[in-house]
Structures are given as structure tokens and as C-alpha cells.
Amino acid sequence: MAKKKKKFIKYNQTIRKIFGGEGFDEGITRVPLDNLIEMAMILSLKEQHLTKADLVRAFRRLWSSGDVADRALITEYLKSLDTTFKSDKSVTSNEARMEKIDEILAQIEHTPAEEVALKEQFEEVRLKKITPKRIAKALLKLRNAKKRSRLEEAFDGSFDEAGRFLFFHSFRFRIFEEDFHKIVQLTCMPFEDEEIAHLDEAALKERLKQCKEKAIEKKRREIDLFLQKASGPNRYLSQEEVLQTIKRIPEECDFLFVPVPEPFLRRILFEQFEISEAEMLAESIRLFRDMEKTLFGKEEWRVRYKLVLEVQKRWLYQSIWDNAPLQIDEDFELRRVEVEAQFDAELAALKSALLHEAEGLDLHEEEIETIIAHAIIDAIARKEILEIPYKTLKTINRHFARQIEGLKLKKQREELLARTIRDFKNLFPLAREMDRRLIFHVGPTNSGKTYAAMERLKKADTGYYLAPLRLLALEGYETLLKSGIPASLVTGEEQLIDEEAAHISSTIEMANYQIEVDVCVIDEVQMIDDPDRGWAWANAIIGIPAHTVIMTGSEDALEAVKELASWLEEDLEVVRFERKAPLILHHHPASLKKLEPSTAIVAFSRRDVLAFKEQLSGRYDVSVVYGNLSPEVRREEARRFREGESQILVATDAIAMGLNLPIKTILFARDSKFDGQSRRLLTPSEIRQIAGRAGRYGLHEEGYVGALTAPVLQTVTELIDEPAPPIRGPYRVMANFEHIELIAKIIETESLSEILGFFVKHMRFDGPFVAANIENMLEIAKMVDLYHLDLKSKYHLACAPLSLGSPYLESVFHRYLIALERKEPIPFAVPEDLPGIAQTSDMLFEAEERVKEISLYLWLSYRFPDAFVDTQNALQAREILNRFIERSLRKGVFARACKRCGKPLPPHFRFGICQECFRGGRQIKR
């Protein structure tokens, strides 16, 4: 289709050249009758002996039919005549243009110079496009340009294309008893064209003078604040280096993030940390560290590789000038754990695949490890990257296939699914049969958008609430019940079904696309951009069978919702909501010794949350919330805070969604977080989403936002009002079991990892969609493929809420798989060995992991009821463990324990072993 379109464009362009710029329908009338008859004979037209008018009509029909071959013959024949059939209309003379311009200018005041300039400007413009409106607009532009030119000359600056006035000013810098001046570029607010046109030059000059003075004063304050910070002692830069850096400050400089020269950055990084190489990029620095790892735990197979960590320059500059610790080592360690875990998973998957291929053959596991190791060691040595290169993987598989009974036939996988599930929206036939109406409630946190949607849901005869979290689904369920509306609750691990109920509250992944309802509320629709879970929102928007679909979300999701509504060809109504309680920013950092009740401190790791809890517990009753806690414990901690049993809440950004809390003040403990790849500053969207929890409408008239340190407060102040970029496609969509079955039949395999890999690699969809990110599901699929289970069981198991990276949970999951393969019942024992409270952070973490195990057990019990038979014990165990965690959070002290001797470590201690064990280890090495 694309090639055909390109040919049409090419033929149309050629025809316009032949007909003097006009199209085929106009130009064909100027071709002589003899040529028309000859062309009709070439194309075997019946009308070859008719009149010219008949032939013209016949050729117009032929051209408009869109046949590529006919257009090609017509174009080639007309080109062969080697002439152009131009229109007989005479070209408008220059005199006519000038007369029309004179006629228009006679009605407008103007100068001779302006008249000359306008005539030059319209010299080659077509006569009909010379209108009073266009002349007036061009005249206004000329006059504005002259005014700007005079202003530029008077104030020694220049206007840019946006109308902003740019100028330079010399500032005095005094630091370390040195005085010098630096020229800095400043910017004034833009002047609109209307202002330039309607204000006289005296008023413009006065306005520009005031604007310059304000800009100079603002920049002076920024410079003074920076010099005050820079004049103090700095662990990274000497006084001479500080002076050199300031003297090198560029003319365009943001004094919140003053750049440090590259030589100084390199010295700091190489002196402070074990770094083999640093690559300077435009906005970041790529750091390299030499590392070693053994394959399959054998010392003789040790490989060396380079670990890469990318650090934002802005964060680095800010930390250096704030004299703050650089968390490079911690981030390197997090990155190492992630990279090596990924590599180990790839290695295990490759080994499992080869073992599966060799099943029933006389080939030992050690031989397979040797084949893999010899190929991979050389590949890693060449690239210095800890990964299995694709070419190496192919080589291993090819050689291995030859070794075991020769080459096996490859399965044909191409072109088989494109015809069946390419049009994704038609995979939801019930929704397509309905005349759906889409409504988007858009607004910030605490604006009442979800409340309004729920009120609409309550009035409907039948309804569905789709929540992003189990906690919110439970909240929606209880809201319906409190309003006297019978309802059912459906989550992955809990199903409370009322057969008489016409309303359902559900987590979004558990949405049922076979139930038709009047109203469906899809909450937090901006989650469509989430790389792991966004598919659930895309699937729901496309396929939920509701007559009215109400979505709630933030402003950045508006473009995405509009795009999907347009693609679905469904009507969309956008309803805007404003925040009910204003947010007020603190001007000074808050002190931990003087916190007001209803204050929430936001950190970004479990370790920091527990450390702050320990630090504050002597002065306040403290509740804590972080992602690793079960929904029940999070809810209980939220209840304690809501009902005044605790005055302070310490939480991760888990509070940004899913908890309605009476928070008056939000305090940021940090302005950066480790996102799995690198440590980075918080984004404006993250800051707004968290800050928006302050000032609960009806409880607090105003919300307050601050920070525990000046640098963090500065970052929050700077970024909180910065607009977030709109979410745009492509959007991720997920295969359901029907798709999986279809792929399995086509590629003739029962290997779920192969099926999912095929889906990700080969599926292409009409519309703004791509296959969802299912890395977690793929990893679980590789595990379940090791066991003899049917495809449907494998699919359900791969969807299980299993936290990869937890050795404990992975071992539990393998135990479940063994029992399912053997068709044995899987019991669950109630814990009996719990102390009163957790003594250490590690003990608390173990309890949290056991609650996750229970969640996994209950989730699987709904898919495999004949195997997971002890649901009552699991529920009882969850209640016992949750009470233990709740007691521990209220009364416990969560010092981390030394990994060698078990002694408690100090709060915020950076390392995993205590100083005594570290010194003892060094003495042994010596």
C-alpha cells in the first residue's frame, strides 16, 4: 500500500509539470483532439472515435479510478509529446500588483519607506492573495521590528524569536578575599506583538527598564546565595579550585546547578571511588568499574567485566556544592546486584534450555556447563560486558544441536499471527458491540475526581470499579457497601462474591471482559505509562464492556486518552477538576525535633524509612508505610495515623497512590531515588503526586510541603510547578490465554517461554500499540517450563505475583511447582515460632517475605483449588504475621544487624558489616 501511494504521488507531480501546475482534470482539456484519440487507442478505450468532450470525460474517469498501470501509460504518453499544456490565463502583471497595493495603502497611514518595503515583500505574491488584512499585518510586523530594533539599541540587548529580551550584565563576585567581575546573560519576560504595537516607545522603554532591573536583582540574589554556599569548607574542592570554577562559570548559568570543570570532576570521582574510566556525556557521566564474577560458582571460570553506572550531572553538581555525600558506591552495588542477577537468570535459562534439548540423552549437566562457559568467557572478555551476546547464544545452540543427534528442524514462526490478532480492539467483541461513552475526570491529587466518579457508579444499576491496588479495590468495595449497595470484591488473592450484587470492585488486572455493566470506573489512568503494568489500563480502556466508561487521572494522561478514544471512534467527554485545598511551600527546612502532628516524611527506601522511624520514636508515635508491607499492615498503619494514635507518618512514595490520609504537611527527606538503573533527581510529576497528599479536603484547609534539608527544599521548590510531558503512545497491550493457545498451536510448542518470546518479538498491531513488557512473566515462564504441566497451568503460574530476586520466595515457588507436577496437595502451616516483636530490620523483613508467600499461596488457590487446600491456615497465618509486623512497627527498634557478628548497626550506616568485623577482616588479609 505504501509503494502504491508513492507511485501515485510521483505521477501527480509529473502531470502538474506537464499541465503548468494544474491537476489532471483541468489540464486534460488542453490536450489536442488528435493526441487524445491516439492515447485512447493505446489504452484500448471504446470512446476512441467520439468527440473531444467524450474523450475528456473518459480520461477523467480512468484517472480517478486509481489504477496504477493506466496512470503510468497516460503519464508516459504525455511525457513523450515533449511539451507543456499551460493555461491560457494571462499571468498577473507587476503593475497590477502595485496598483492593488497602492489602492490598499491609500486607506492606511504609512511612510514612503514602509510603502517601498511592502511592495518588495509582495512583489511575487499572487494578486488574489494581496488583501487589506495581509497588508495591515505585514505593516504591523514592519513597525514592530523597527520598535524592537530601537529598543535593542537603547538597552544594549536583543529579542529572540519568542519575544524575550536577552542582555548581558556584569556582576561583582567577592569570595575568599578576591574581587572580580563576570558577565552573565540575563533574560526578561517576553513582549507580545500586541504590546509592541499598542504601547508607545516611552512606555515600552519604561517596562523594559523595570524588567531588566528585576532580572538583575533576581540574578544577584541567586549569585549571593551561591557564593555564600561556595565560601564554606568543601570536602571535594580546594579554595583555589572553587575560585577557578567560579571564574569559569559560563555566561548562561543556572546558579542552582553551577557546573564543575571536567578535570575537577574526574579528580573527585577517581579519588573518592574505585573507577576505571569515566565518560562525559552532555547531561550525565558514565562511570565504569572493573568487576569479576564466576560462572556456575567455579573459580576456574572467572570472568572480568566493566560495570556501568550513569550519574546525572545536575545531581552531581548539586551534591558537590552542598558538600553532601556522593552515593556512588551504594548505587554501584545496587547496579551490580541487578546486572549479575539478570546475567545469572540468562545463564540459568540457557542451561535449562540445553538440558531440555538433551533430555533422554547420555549428556551430563557438567558437560553442558563446560560448553556454555568456554563460549561465554571469550565473548565477555572481548566486549567486557556481563551478558550473553546474541551471536554467542546462536553459536552455542548450533554447536549443541549438532552434538545431540544432528540439526533439529526449526519451527516456522513467521506470518502466522499477523492475520489473526493484529487488530487488537476486535479481540474484545462485547465492547465493540456496545455504543460506549468515554468520560475522563482529569485533575490533580485531592481534587475530588475519583469521588465524583464513584458517586456516578453508585447511581448505576450495574457497575464496575477497577483499582490500581488491592488496597484501593478493598476501599471501593467498602465504599459501595457503606452506601447500601451490594457488591463483590475480586482481587488476585481474595474474592468475596455476592451472587445478588450488581456491582464489582476489582484490581484492574482481574477485570472481566465478559460482564456487561452500565458504568465502569477506571482509576489512576496515567498508570497506562507504567512499563510493567500499563497494559492493564490499555486493555481496560479498549475492552471493558460498559455503556459509560469513566476514567480518572492526571493532566499528563489527557493526550493518551484522547488518542485512544479517537482510535476507538468513541465519544469522549473531558471533565476538569481543581484541587480543593491549596498547597503552600515551606521557605525553610524542617527540624525533626519540632514536627507538627499530621506530618508525613517521605523517604525512598525501606532502610531510610525504618531509620527515620527509629530516630523519631523517642519523641513521637510513628506510623510507617513502604512497598514491602502487606496491604493489611499498610492499612492498619494508615488507620493509626488517621485516628490520631500516631502523630507522624514515615513512608516511601507508596503513599502517592492508594491511601486516603489526613496529612497536613509533607516533608521530603531526599530529592533523589535509585530507579533500578541509576540514581536520579525526582521528576516534577513524582514531586507533585507525593506533595498532593498534603491538605486533605474537609480535614485541613491547606496543605504544606517542605523538606528536611535546604538542598532538597530547593529542588522541590524548583520542580513542583514544572509541567510534566504528556503521555504518548505506543501503549503496551497484553496477550490473554486465548492468544497463548493460538500461538502454541501455530508454532507447535508447549514451552510457555518460547510462546511469550514469540509474542514479544513478532507481534505487530494496528493502532498505537506494542506488546507489553513481560520480562517478569518471561522469567517465571522459564521456571515453570522445567516442569511437566499443561499450558493453561503454566500460563496461570507465570501470571502469579512472584517477587523475582527473593531467594526465599523462588524456593517456595519451586516447591509448589514440584507438588503440582506430582499432583500432590500443598499444605500451609501456621507459624508458631514468632517472638513478641522483631528485634532487627532483617527479622522484620523475613516476616514481610512470609506474608508475600501467603499472598502467593492465596492467589494460586483460586487457580488451583485442588492443590492449594489450606487457605484457612494461610488466612490465619497472614493475620498472625500481620499482627506481628504491626506490633513490631509500633514498638520495635529496627537497627540492621551486622552480617558477620549479628550486632546492631548504627542508623544510616552505609555498609553491611560493623567496623570491628571490617577491621578484623583486614587484619586477617594482612
Strand partners, 121: none
Judge whether 577 and 449 are in contact, CB under 8 Å: yes
pLDDT, tens only, 230-240: 998 999 999 99
| Cα separation values, 652 from 378, 600, 603, 624, Å | 43, 10, 5, 9
Q: For 27-88, give the secondary structure using H, E and C.
A: HHHHCCHHHHHHHHHHCCCHHHHCCHHHHHHHHHHHHHCCCHHHHHHHHHHHHHCCCCCCCC
Sheet containing 495-496: order of strands: 495-496, 487-490, 503-507, 463-467, 517-522, 546-553, 437-442, 571-576
User: 910-920: per-residue pLDDT in tens?
Assistant: 566 777 777 66
Q: How many CB atoms lie within 10 A of CB 2?
A: 5
Using 50, 70 and 90 to split pLDDT, how confident is the model at 564? Answer: very high
Rounded average pLDDT over 10-29 = 81
Residue 907 pLDDT > 60: no
Give 194-203's long-range contacts (Cβ < 8 A, gap of 24+): 196/144, 196/147, 196/148, 197/140, 197/143, 197/144, 201/147, 201/150, 201/151
d(CA 760, CA 753): 11
Percent of the chain with pLDDT over 90: 29
158-162, 351-355, 376-380, 400-404, range with the lowest pLDDT: 400-404
DSSP calls for 153-203:
HHHTEEE-TTS-EEEEEEEEEEETTEEEEEEEEEEPPPPPHHHHHHS-HHH
**Is a pLDDT exceeding 50 seen at residue 256?**
yes
How many Å separate Cα 218 from the centre of its chain? 34
pLDDT-based confidence at 12, cuts 50/70/90?
Answer: confident
List Cα–Cα distances, 908 to 623, 833, 896, in angstroms.
Answer: 19, 30, 9
The closest of 268, 267, 253, 372 to 314, measured between CA atoms, is 253
DSSP letter for each residue of 641-707: HHTTS-SEEEE-GGGGSS-----SEEEES-SEEE-SS-EEEPPHHHHHHHHTTSS-TTT-SSEEEEE
Average pLDDT over residues 863-891: 84
CA distances from 898 to 329, 609, 692, 892, 905 (A): 18, 19, 38, 18, 6
Question: Which of 212, 169, 219 is closest to 191 using CA atoms?
Answer: 212
> What does the block give as the cell for 363?
549428556
CB 863 within 8 A of CB 790: no
In this predicted structure, the answer to whether residue 828 has a pLDDT above a threshold of 80 is yes
Quote the CA–CA distance of 500 and 498 in Å, as a whole number: 5
DSSP state, residue 868: B
Is 315:298 a contact under the CB 8 Å cutoff? Answer: no
Q: What digits encode the pLDDT tens for the residues 858-869? A: 889 888 999 998
What gap in Å lies between CA 921 and CA 926, rounded to an integer?
Answer: 9
Least Cα distance to 568 among 608, 601, 541, 535 occurs for 541
User: CA 577, 578, 584 angle in degrees (round to 5)?
Assistant: 155
pLDDT at 496 over 70: yes
Exposed, middle or buried: residue 228 (CB in 10 Å: 0-12, 13-18, 19+)? exposed
In this prediction, residue 677 carries a pLDDT of: 66
Q: Are strands 298-312 and 437-442 parallel, antiparallel or unpaired?
A: unpaired
What mean pLDDT do residues 625-643 have? 83
The answer, yes or no, to whether residue 563 has pLDDT greater than 60, is: yes
Q: At what angle do helices 470-482 and 449-459 cross, to 10 degrees?
A: 50
Q: Using pLDDT thresholds of 50, 70 and 90, give the confidence band for residue 412.
A: very low
What pLDDT, on a 0 to 100 scale, did the predictor assign at position 631? 79
Which positions ≥6 away from 639 have C-beta within 8 Å?
645
pLDDT in tens, 796-826: 998 888 877 788 888 989 999 999 999 999 9
d(CA 131, CA 139): 12
Report field, pTM of the whole predicted structure over 0.75: no
The torsion angles phi and psi of 359, rounded to 5 degrees, stand at: -60, 130
Q: Is the pLDDT of residue 436 over 90?
A: yes
Helix axes 871-891, 631-642, angle to 10 degrees: 40
Q: What is the pLDDT of residues 520-539, one digit of tens each?
A: 999 999 999 888 889 999 99
* 105-109, 389-393, 621-625: range with highest mean pLDDT: 621-625
CB atoms within 10 A of CB 730: 12
Return the exposure string of 796-814: e unless at least 16 CB atoms fall within 10 Å of the residue's CB, then b.
Answer: bbbbbbbbeeeeebbebbe
Residue 905: is its pLDDT beyond 60?
Answer: yes
The candidate with the shortest Cα–Cα distance to 129, out of 103, 105, 100, 107, is 100
Residue-level pLDDT at 656: 64
Residue 210, SS3? Answer: helix
What is the side-by-side order of every strand in the sheet holding 665-668? 583-585, 703-707, 665-668, 599-602, 648-651, 622-625
| Per-residue confidence band for 91, with pLDDT thresholds at 50, 70 and 90 | very low
- Mean pLDDT is lowest, of 620-624, 831-835, 898-902, for 898-902
**Eight-class DSSP state of 723:** P
pLDDT of residue 398: 73
Reported as type and span, the H/E element at residue 348 is helix 328-357
pLDDT at 409 over 60: no
Residue 766 grid coordinates: 494496528
Q: Give the pairing of strands 277-280 and 284-295.
A: antiparallel
pLDDT bracket for residue 50 (50, 70, 90): low
Tell whether the model's pLDDT for residue 196 goes beyond 70. Answer: yes
pLDDT tens digits, 667-698: 999 988 876 667 788 888 888 888 888 886 55
Decide which of 748 and 348 is more confident: 348
The number of C-alpha atoms within 13 Å of 603 and in the hemisphere containing its C-beta is 17
Question: Beta-carbon neighbour count of residue 552 at 10 Å?
Answer: 26
Instruction: Quote the pLDDT of residue 3.
Output: 62
**pLDDT at residue number 90:** 40
Map grid coordinates 572553587 to a residue: 242
Joined grid coordinates for residue 146? 523597527
User: Could you tell me how many residues make up the chain?
Assistant: 926
CA distance 412 to 745: 12
Query: Which pLDDT score, from 0 to 100, does residue 110 have?
Result: 82
Q: Which pLDDT score, from 0 to 100, does residue 92 have?
A: 45
Q: What does the pLDDT read at residue 407? A: 31
324 SS3 class? coil
Residue 667's DSSP bridge partners are: 601, 706
| Pick from 115-119, 686-690, 731-735, 913-917: least confident | 913-917
DSSP 8-state code for residue 914: -
pLDDT in tens, 453-483: 999 999 999 999 999 888 888 889 999 999 9
Strands of 313-377 (E only): list them.
none
φ/ψ (deg, to 5) at 708: -85, -20
Confidence of residue 77 (pLDDT cuts 50, 70, 90): confident
CB 898 within 8 A of CB 913: yes
Asked if residue 411 has pLDDT above 60, the reply is no
Mean pLDDT of the chain: 84
Give the pLDDT band (50/70/90) at residue 599: very high
- Complete DSSP assignment for 652-668: -GGGGSS-----SEEEE
Q: What is the reported pLDDT for 508?
A: 93
Per-residue pLDDT, 312: 92
What's the sign of the alpha-carbon dihedral 620, 625, 630, 631?
Answer: positive
Predicted confidence at residue 83, as pLDDT, reads: 81
Report, as an integer, the average pLDDT of 118-134: 80
Nearest C-alpha neighbor of 706 from the set 696, 697, 716? 716
Strand order through the sheet with 277-280: 277-280, 284-295, 298-312
- pLDDT score at 818: 92
Does residue 88 surpass a pLDDT of 70? no
Instruction: Give mean pLDDT, residues 359-365.
Output: 68
Residue found by looking up cell 572480568 in the block: 304
Per-residue model confidence (pLDDT) at position 480 = 95
By the 8 A CB rule, do 545 and 504 touch? no
> At residue 191, what are phi and psi to the nearest 5 degrees?
-100, 125
